[in-house]
Chains A and B, each alone.
Chain A
Amino acid sequence: MASVKTLCVVLLGLLLIVAGVSLWVLADSTTAVVSIPLASTGFLWSPLIWILGIIIILSAALANALPLKNYLAWLLLLVIGYLAIFVILVSITSVILP
């Protein structure tokens, strides 16, 4: 049972990583391989999709060791915690910035 659960988590994570990268590449309208980090191209929010994929794939270790309910709580904590870092930093700095 634990290994089936782990396998499902790994597959879901992989799917998100592949989907995130593919969507970005398919929607990219530029051909230049230059390191301009922020440019309005590619599929919007696709970096977030593959980052979520990475988090989920890593959480397979937890899926293998914890009961399902606890694993889901951990996964939620990791995802929300990660996004919360951005939300907190953006909120605080946007209040202070002129």
Chain B
Amino acid sequence: MKEGYPTNMSAEEESVLQPLLKTGKGFYVFVGVLLVLTGWFLYCWYTQLSQGLIVTGMRSIYNAPNYMAYGVAGGSPWGVYVTTFIFWIGISHAGIAISASVRLMNLNKYKVVARIAEVLTLVALPMAGLSIVFDVGRPDRLFNLLEFGRFQAPLLWDLSAVTTYFMATIIYLYLSLRGDIDRLALRIPRREKFYKRLAMHYEGTETEKERHKQTLWWLAIAIVPIMVTVHSVVSFVFGLMIARAGWYSTIFAIYFVVGAIVSGVAAVYSLAWIFRWLYKWESLITDDVLKGISWALRNVLIIYIYLWIAEELTTNYMGPSAELRVSDFLWNGPYAPIFWPLVIIGFAIPAIILLKPVFARKTFSPKLTFIASIILNVALWIKRFIIVVPSLLNPPLYQTGVYIPTVTEVSIILGTFWMAALLYVVFMKIFPIIELDATDPANLNRGLEEA
């Protein structure tokens, strides 16, 4: 037996390895459904590639001449694909952010959700990239980005920032997993060869563990600014466009970063709650851990609502007429049936649920907070939609247009969700979703004492 590994599995460790060791009928049904849905998505994407973006809602809806077609004459050239891109980038945010915070601030209590968050980043980033691929008419020219990409273009900043974040995530995840992979070689003998090869001569000595800890600490330091950069750069794609009412704003970078943290933390809470419920991990992901995440979610949500109010006030107080046109489109126009339910159901209700424990102590409900986190994620997708589309539907030189996503478009964006779920499930079948170190009785007790 290697140095540092307990000979027998603790009850907690056995419980964490459940998804790897046992495969029930439910798993096959779930994966089967996901595969069918992914197949439908692939068919829809094939349809779009073979027929062009004309099958989407991002087309001219009036009888405009060809040079005015595709979105500029009454439609929207960006729609649910770009919305979903921002959404996935946002989701990817919290992953490494939570994990890096755990490491940098020694928040051992939250170590049990660190990997749930890291894997979320890993599956969310490719989905963000794919959403952009769906949006471009000629993905066969993708190499042009690397060949001719302009240094001044925010799109190239995006490519560089997302690449950096993705690579940092892979490296960070591998290094944090390496010890566990090595331990898995002992725990699951039938996969020993695979894990041994993947662990790449990991010895598990104190020196090696210390070196890993040190490297991860430095990597975490590097990752925090990278994470902020990624979403700031995404916001620059909008915020630097002077010709579009509703986008040109100095607040956009911080607005996008905070929005991303809200959706990311909400997603991590949702997943942590689902896994706890599914695998009976109440002793690992305790109420206290969930309460801590909900506390973080509540605080960032308040900041986000504050920034939103500031943005709306600035636009509406004495904004230029083009800005008011977009604002009116949302507040009283065709998008009001989306905007007001978003404000009330999407943000006010979750805010009340999250704020309740502040005023009435001992009223924290993990289940209710889970519902709030799900609502918040849906709301944040819609929020991104009303940032992207209304500004494009109210162009300075044309009349107000209409954008209705088609079934093909919706199926394609839903496809990113099915694929993300599939990747997540596959990961959980191969690697533990909770760090095995966090299940060691000594670490569990330390976490509880800190709590």
Q: Which residues of A contact B (CB under 8 A)?
A: 2, 21, 24-25, 28, 32-42, 44-45, 47-48, 50-51, 54-55, 58-59, 61-62, 64-67, 70, 73-74, 78, 82, 85-86, 89-90, 93-94, 96-98
Between A and B, 6 residue pairs with Cβ closer than 8 Å are A37-B145, A44-B148, A47-B151, A54-B160, A70-B200, A85-B129
Please tell me if B286 contacts chain A, counting CB pairs below 8 Å: no
The residue in chain B whose Cβ has the minimal distance to the Cβ of A94 is B140
In the bound complex, do residue B175 and residue A62 qualify as a contact, i.e. CB atoms below 8 Å apart?
yes
Contact partner, B146, options A28, A48, A59, A66, Cβ 8 Å: A48
- Residue with the greatest number of chain A CB neighbours at <10 A, chosen from B149, B153, B175, B201: B149
With contact pairs A65-B211, A65-B215, A97-B50 given, residues A58 and B149 touching in the complex (Cβ less than 8 Å): no
In the bound complex, do residue B153 and residue A35 qualify as a contact, i.e. CB atoms below 8 Å apart?
yes
- Residue with the greatest number of chain B CB neighbours at <10 A, chosen from A50, A58, A94, A98: A58
Min distance, Cβ A1 to any Cβ of chain B, angstroms: 12
Please report which residues of chain B, range 149-165, place their CB below 8 angstroms from some CB of chain A when the two chains form the complex. Answer: 149-156, 159-160, 163-164
With contact pairs A42-B148, A58-B167, A90-B140 given, residues A64 and B153 touching in the complex (Cβ less than 8 Å): no
* A39–B201 CA distance with the chains assembled, in angstroms: 47
The residue in chain B whose Cβ has the minimal distance to the Cβ of A73 is B200
In the bound complex, do residue A58 and residue B49 qualify as a contact, i.e. CB atoms below 8 Å apart?
no
In the bound complex, do residue B144 and residue A38 qualify as a contact, i.e. CB atoms below 8 Å apart?
yes
Please tell me if B32 contacts chain A, counting CB pairs below 8 Å: no
In the bound complex, do residue B171 and residue A40 qualify as a contact, i.e. CB atoms below 8 Å apart?
no
In the bound complex, do residue A64 and residue B211 qualify as a contact, i.e. CB atoms below 8 Å apart?
yes
Extra A-B contacts (12), CB below 8 Å, given A54-B164, A82-B167, A96-B50: A41-B150, A47-B156, A51-B160, A54-B160, A54-B163, A58-B164, A59-B171, A90-B143, A93-B138, A96-B46, A96-B49, A97-B139
In the bound complex, do residue B175 and residue A82 qualify as a contact, i.e. CB atoms below 8 Å apart?
no
Min distance, Cβ A32 to any Cβ of chain B, angstroms: 8
Please tell me if B345 contacts chain A, counting CB pairs below 8 Å: no
* B-chain residues with CB within 8 Å of residue A74 when the two chains form the complex: 174
Contact partner, B150, options A38, A48, A62, Cβ 8 Å: A38
The residue in chain A whose Cβ has the minimal distance to the Cβ of B223 is A58
- Residue with the greatest number of chain A CB neighbours at <10 A, chosen from B143, B150, B154: B150
Please tell me if B218 contacts chain A, counting CB pairs below 8 Å: yes
Nearest first, the 6 A-B pairs at minimum CB distance are: A94-B140, A47-B149, A37-B155, A37-B153, A70-B200, A93-B139
* A85–B133 CA distance with the chains assembled, in angstroms: 11
* A-chain residues with CB within 8 Å of residue B208 when the two chains form the complex: 65
* B-chain residues with CB within 8 Å of residue A47 when the two chains form the complex: 145-147, 149, 151, 156, 159-160
- The 0/1 profile, CB within 8 Å of A marked 1, for residues 267-282 of chain B is 0000000000000000
Q: Contact size class for B?
A: 35 or more
In the bound complex, do residue B143 and residue A86 qualify as a contact, i.e. CB atoms below 8 Å apart?
yes
* A-chain residues with CB within 8 Å of residue B144 when the two chains form the complex: 38
- The 0/1 profile, CB within 8 Å of A marked 1, for residues 76-118 of chain B is 0000000000000000000000000000000000000000000
Please tell me if B219 contacts chain A, counting CB pairs below 8 Å: yes
Please report which residues of chain B, range 345-391, place their CB below 8 angstroms from some CB of chain A when the two chains form the complex. Answer: none
Please tell me if B240 contacts chain A, counting CB pairs below 8 Å: yes
Please tell me if B142 contacts chain A, counting CB pairs below 8 Å: yes
- Residue with the greatest number of chain B CB neighbours at <10 A, chosen from A34, A47, A50: A47
* A-chain residues with CB within 8 Å of residue B171 when the two chains form the complex: 58-59, 61-62, 78
* A-chain residues with CB within 8 Å of residue B50 when the two chains form the complex: 96-98
* B-chain residues with CB within 8 Å of residue A70 when the two chains form the complex: 200-201
* A13–B168 CA distance with the chains assembled, in angstroms: 14
Please tell me if B170 contacts chain A, counting CB pairs below 8 Å: yes
Min distance, Cβ B153 to any Cβ of chain A, angstroms: 4
* A-chain residues with CB within 8 Å of residue B215 when the two chains form the complex: 61, 64-65
Please tell me if B212 contacts chain A, counting CB pairs below 8 Å: yes
- Residue with the greatest number of chain B CB neighbours at <10 A, chosen from A37, A42, A48, A62: A37
In the bound complex, do residue A50 and residue B160 qualify as a contact, i.e. CB atoms below 8 Å apart?
yes
* B-chain residues with CB within 8 Å of residue A55 when the two chains form the complex: 163, 167
Min distance, Cβ B293 to any Cβ of chain A, angstroms: 27
With contact pairs A37-B153, A54-B160, A66-B200 given, residues A61 and B145 touching in the complex (Cβ less than 8 Å): no
* A-chain residues with CB within 8 Å of residue B214 when the two chains form the complex: 64
